[in-house]
Structure 1
Amino acid sequence: MLLNLLVLLVPASLALPNDIVQRELKPVKGVGHSRLYLYQESFQGTFRCLDGSRTILFSQLNDDYCDCPDGSDEPGTSACGNAFFYCSNVGHTGNFIPTNRVNDKLCDCCDGSDEYNSGVDCPNICDELGRAARVEKERVSAIARKGFAKRKEMARQGQELRASKLKDVEPLRAEKAKLAPELAALEEGKKDAEQNERELQDEHRKAWEEDRDEKKKVRAAELFEEIDLNKDGKIVSDEMRLNLYLDENRDGLVSEDEVKTYLTVDEADSEHFQTVMYDRLKVAKKNYEEDLRQKAKEGEEAHENVPDDDELLAEEDRDEDHPADVAHHEDDEDKMPEYPPEVTAASEDAREARRQFDELNQKLADIDAKIREAEEFSKEDFGEDLAWASLKDKCFDRNVQQYTYEFCPFGQNTQKDTGAYSGTSLGSFKKWSGPEGEKYTRQHYGDGQQCWNGPKRSTDITIQCGVENELVEVTEPAKCEYEFTFRTPLACPDPDVGVHEEL
């Protein structure tokens, strides 16, 4: 690449006459064969700097003095700091080094040609390096050939997958259009059935509430009469204190404070009693009687105001005469009875209408999801041959110490404790991030889980050629910024298309 750049920088005015082109090219130290034509002596015995800025005597080439601003007159010495020396490296690969490394007593060229005048004897190891390089090149080439063969197969799979998804889009849209009116009809039927259900339920509930309220009025009046000892239509504190079920601390006496818990006015008429006091008094009385029954069953000594044994026996007899539990009789009245058959039938009709609507609605939602998935799939960048589509919805993991890292191409990357079901998001796919001309060599994943006192987690994926798809390396070079190395046949180039290097 550097050689091509240097040649492109040569002005058109430096094109040499035909007489030089026709002559045998003479070697010049530090100049590769492909550029020798630029360094041949003209009939005038001159040399034109490669940037076209000056013309100097040909004898000034490699005279250890920098005459050209671009350093092109000193390719074989260290006189210019901006020039390059070509190592021919016969038996290996030729390469350029900066001319400031020439004769610096360090062997940079494998043939030692850069130290021709430093007094250092550099061994020629080009054959040895060349053999090793050819072995490595053959190894890499073998991997590339196997990988590229798999890539072609994966490309075929990706293309078939895309075609399969897209071919279903139009039939799915037609099915959706056909089912839409049916869904609208089912929705209307569902609304009618639910409205009928609500109306019948409300009617039943209203009738029950009216009946319950009437019964409550009767029970409240009975309890009012029971407490109103002087029958003056008013309940006062002294009358309340005679009811031991108000003895909350169970000390045998009903205090003024205990009375005020229920009686918040000086005197209560029947209306105030029913609306404010009855419900709480009912609960207090029920709890007290339950305590008495429990103590009687456990054989404990009766409280001084507890009814005598004859009364308890009479109460037990009354309980036996009523199969339903007397203690819960009023509670049962406060519980709405089951719906009658016509309401139950309406509820069943509503349930069936909802079931049919939900079933078809879910079917349409599934159709929408498939259409959306196919459209998004068709817009995804899976490479020119769609080979990367074959890895969509697949994941690859690697264990590193106590963690398992998971890489899901075009999805989300995670870190989790080994063996755990869920983990921490390291980012979702954002873009291909390879450099220009090598776009498909890197991927970036961002917007992962927020790091404590740090950024959102992210992952950059380096993609290398390999025979198998495998996550081979995981690192964290910066806090919450991860680097994955992923090997895959998809990164293997065609081994028959290569770059020829100058030897």
Structure 2
Amino acid sequence: MLLKLLVFLVPAAFASDPTQRQLKPVKGVPHSRLHLYQPSTTDTFRCIDGSQTILYSQLNDDYCDCQDGSDEPGTSACGNAFFYCSNVGHKGNFIPTNRVNDKLCDCCDGSDEYDSGVTCPNICDELGRAARVEREKVANVARKGFQKRQEMAKEGQTLRDSKLKDVEPLRQERATLEPERSRLEQDKKSAEEAEKKLQDEHRNQWEVIRNEKKKLRAAEWFEQLDLDKSGKIDREELRQNLFLDDDNDGFVNEDEVKAYLTIDEADLEHFQSSMYDRLKSAKNRHLEEARIKEEDERERARALENAPDDDDLLAEEDRHEGEAAEPINSEDEDDKMPEYPQEVKDAQEKAREARRLFDEVNEKTGDLDAKIREAEDFANSDYGEDYSWAALKDKCFDRNVQQYTYQFCPFGQNTQKDTGAYSGTSLGSFKNWSGPEGNKYSKMHFGDGQQCWNGPKRSTDITIECGEENELVEVTEPAKCEYLFTFRTPLACSDPDKEVVHDEF
């Protein structure tokens, strides 16, 4: 009895499995979905969205019963349904059902015009052959590119390992140099303090002497300006000095005097503190202007004379050169600080040597710090799952478009410049990989480029495609200051022999 029951149940079990029984074909439905369109035990069909159940005989009856259009995959009754073209010999595809029996051949096998009266030639074999040739061509490019990618991945991994291997020795060397650097820094500080102290002492001594001389010169000039010897200078006395004639009208007016004497009378103390330097500058300026004017007049006079002998002309020029070489005011010599004594020079030399020794060690430690940072940054950067992109670090690729040269530098900065120019406009620096989930390394984003006039900062998005060589193949600007680059590289190639092509979706 048990044996008979098993014989009865096993065929029933197989019959309930759509992969184990013969599926009834339904027009417009791919084989992968046929199990959804098989009649139930009650000879009904449940809409794919589960919204309702209809009679199985209502499938493809040219009337839309299901809201999702799933009951009419082979007719044009539902506007939201799709018809499947089997396209044997080529690639199956879906078309909207409103194209079914519209007297236009959409499927390469002509199956969409089964009831329109139009005879469509079956060109699937021809299209399939062309598609296979193209696929093989693309596969060959991908195959060669993938081989180069593997080589570049080894190069990137070797570079990473080398940099990481060098980090610890660099840190040890840095630690060894630090005590010496600290000692030399302290030596430099002490030597510079001693140098500054001696320089300040010398300068202060000179300034005391200079100020005393200045007071004496000011007192002498005060005596000359104090015409009535009253111990004070008034505006009338100051008006007698034509070097204050700023407008060159031949006399000194009230306003020109007030510019230097703001009170009614000036005693010696006020003259020394508030008037002497300004009057001295005014006098020197007046003398310089007079000298230039005199030279101009001599030049004009020579031009009006008959051409003199060469010897006379040279003698005249030498005489005037001698006059011009004389200082306007010998008092300026007192404003120059005398040369440092030997004690200060020795301190200066000692400080220079201390700075040199410190700078040498400090430069070495700075170089070591930079190398350590570079290695750590390299190790923490995202150069792809196999590190192949590391092979393109610090490399750039150009493309000329009309009068511009565009430059793409992975992990660096993109630029636009006039062809032949040395510098250009920044189109942004590398920010991140921006490809979609599952294909992260298919896009790059560059941002924070040079600000546009009345616009945003420039930015660039890079689309990365498989190619045998590294090449910037396209540059566009779809929006103001937003650029799109297309870059082909072996680094975007995967193994075509491991890819699976699906004809149905």
Same fold flag (TM > 0.5): yes
Q: 1:226 to 1:75 in 2, by over 3 A?
A: closer
Aligned residues of 1:49 and 1:72 also touching (Cα < 8 A): no
Distance 2:291 2:56 in 1: 128
Alpha-carbon shift at residue 441 of structure 1 (Å): 1.2
Q: Counterparts of 1:80-479 in structure 2 under 5 Å?
A: 80-228=78-226, 231-236=229-234, 240=238, 260-283=258-281, 327-479=328-480
Q: 1:286 to 1:458 in 2, by over 3 A?
A: closer
SS of residue matched to 1:496: helix
Q: 1:228 to 1:115 in 2, by over 3 A?
A: closer
* Paired AA for residue 406 in structure 2: Y
Aligned residues of 1:46 and 1:56 also touching (Cα < 8 A): no
Q: 1:278 to 1:80 in 2, by over 3 A?
A: closer
Alpha-carbon shift at residue 287 of structure 1 (Å): 5.9
* Paired AA for residue 339 in structure 2: E
Aligned residues of 1:463 and 1:487 also touching (Cα < 8 A): yes
SS of residue matched to 2:190: helix
Deviations 1:398-453 (CA, angstroms, capped at 9, x unpaired):
11111111111122222222222222222222222222222211122222222222
Distance 2:353 2:91 in 1: 80
Comparing 85-94 with 231-240, which one deviates more in the overlay?
A: 231-240
SS of residue matched to 1:168: helix
* Paired AA for residue 49 in structure 1: R
Alpha-carbon shift at residue 260 of structure 1 (Å): 4.9
Q: 1:448 to 1:16 in 2, by over 3 A?
A: farther
SS of residue matched to 2:60: coil
Q: 1:120 to 1:330 in 2, by over 3 A?
A: same
Q: 1:46 maps to which residue?
A: 43
Aligned residues of 1:16 and 1:37 also touching (Cα < 8 A): no
* Paired AA for residue 157 in structure 1: E
Deviations 1:178-230 (CA, angstroms, capped at 9, x unpaired):
22222221221111111111111111111111111222233333333444455
Comparing 454-463 with 30-39, which one deviates more in the overlay?
A: 30-39
Distance 2:391 2:56 in 1: 62
Alpha-carbon shift at residue 128 of structure 1 (Å): 1.5
Comparing 266-275 with 489-498, which one deviates more in the overlay?
A: 266-275
Alpha-carbon shift at residue 99 of structure 1 (Å): 2.8
SS of residue matched to 1:337: coil
Aligned residues of 2:434 and 2:444 also touching (Cα < 8 A): yes
Q: 1:332 to 1:145 in 2, by over 3 A?
A: same
* Paired AA for residue 429 in structure 2: S
Distance 2:20 2:294 in 1: 132
Q: 1:460 to 1:237 in 2, by over 3 A?
A: closer
Q: 1:229 to 1:104 in 2, by over 3 A?
A: closer
SS of residue matched to 1:203: helix
**Normalised by the size of structure 1, how large is the TM-score?**
0.82
Aligned residues of 1:49 and 1:70 also touching (Cα < 8 A): no
Deviations 1:300-355 (CA, angstroms, capped at 9, x unpaired):
9xxxxxxxxxxxxxxxxxxx9xxx95754311112111111211221122222222
Determine if the alignment matches structure 1 residue 499 to structure 2 residue 496.
Answer: no
Q: 1:347 to 1:54 in 2, by over 3 A?
A: same
Q: Which runs of 5+ in 2 are unaligned?
A: 1-12, 300-321
**Normalised by the size of structure 2, how large is the TM-score?**
0.82
SS of residue matched to 1:103: coil
* Paired AA for residue 75 in structure 1: P
Aligned residues of 2:14 and 2:21 also touching (Cα < 8 A): no
SS of residue matched to 1:473: strand
Alpha-carbon shift at residue 500 of structure 1 (Å): 3.3
* Paired AA for residue 276 in structure 1: S
Q: 1:211 to 1:86 in 2, by over 3 A?
A: same
Comparing 230-239 with 392-401, which one deviates more in the overlay?
A: 230-239
Aligned residues of 2:260 and 2:279 also touching (Cα < 8 A): yes
SS of residue matched to 1:486: strand
Deviations 1:157-188 (CA, angstroms, capped at 9, x unpaired):
11111112212222222222222222221221
Alpha-carbon shift at residue 153 of structure 1 (Å): 0.8
Q: 2:316 maps to which residue?
A: none
Aligned-residue CA RMSD (Å): 3.3
Distance 1:186 1:278 in 2: 48
Distance 1:76 1:248 in 2: 105
Alpha-carbon shift at residue 31 of structure 1 (Å): 3.2
Alpha-carbon shift at residue 73 of structure 1 (Å): 4.2
Q: Counterparts of 1:479-490 in structure 2 under 5 Å?
A: 479-490=480-491
Aligned residues of 1:220 and 1:278 also touching (Cα < 8 A): yes
SS of residue matched to 2:496: coil
Aligned residues of 1:39 and 1:47 also touching (Cα < 8 A): no
Q: 1:498 to 1:331 in 2, by over 3 A?
A: same
Alpha-carbon shift at residue 464 of structure 1 (Å): 0.8
Aligned residues of 2:245 and 2:252 also touching (Cα < 8 A): yes
Aligned residues of 1:471 and 1:485 also touching (Cα < 8 A): yes
Distance 2:242 2:58 in 1: 128
Aligned residues of 1:46 and 1:55 also touching (Cα < 8 A): no
Aligned residues: 467
Distance 1:234 1:275 in 2: 14
SS of residue matched to 1:443: strand
Matched residues, percent identical?
72
Distance 1:230 1:357 in 2: 65
SS of residue matched to 2:498: coil
Deviations 1:365-410 (CA, angstroms, capped at 9, x unpaired):
2222222222222222221111111112211121111111111112
Alpha-carbon shift at residue 33 of structure 1 (Å): 3.5
SS of residue matched to 1:96: strand
Q: 1:231 to 1:123 in 2, by over 3 A?
A: same
